[in-house]
Amino acid sequence: MNPNQSLYDNLGGAEGLRRLVEVFYAKVQLHPQLSPLFPADITPVMEKQFQFLSQFFGGPALFSEQHGHPMMRARHMHVPITPERAEEWLDCMKAALEELGVSEPLRSVLLSRLSGPAHHFVNMPEE
């Protein structure tokens, strides 16, 4: 990990981030608790995730340019997100980072950065 570069650049820029989103959503689609939360055509979700993570990790502000202020918690209020689902989402991301060979300390930094929002989106107690 190069501390003089953004997380976006450390991931390999647009190409690396696009690959992460693809591998991550392949895992989400196979996850028994997460997959029902997503539409059958997950392509638009993947594109928005790519746009958001680009911005969130210090790359181009693609999400804001296309959709305005992220307001991610508000955008997810219609989805029943429990603490357990937040952890399962993070587990899928961890598995995707591992599959792509993202090494330490970058992997831990990325997961730590994503942990805050994942838990901030929780909008219902455990089922």
Which residue, among 86, 18, 78, has the nearest Cα to 50 in the 3D structure?
A: 18
Structural Rg of the chain based on CA atoms: 14
Torsion angle (degrees, nearest 10) of CA 113, 114, 115, 121: 130
**What are the angstrom distances between the C-alpha of 100 and each of 14, 16, 82, 90?**
15, 9, 27, 15
31 is in an annotated binding site: no
Torsion angle (degrees, nearest 10) of CA 63, 47, 30, 76: 30
Q: Where is the binding site for heme, in residues?
A: 119
Q: Where is the binding site, in residues?
A: 119
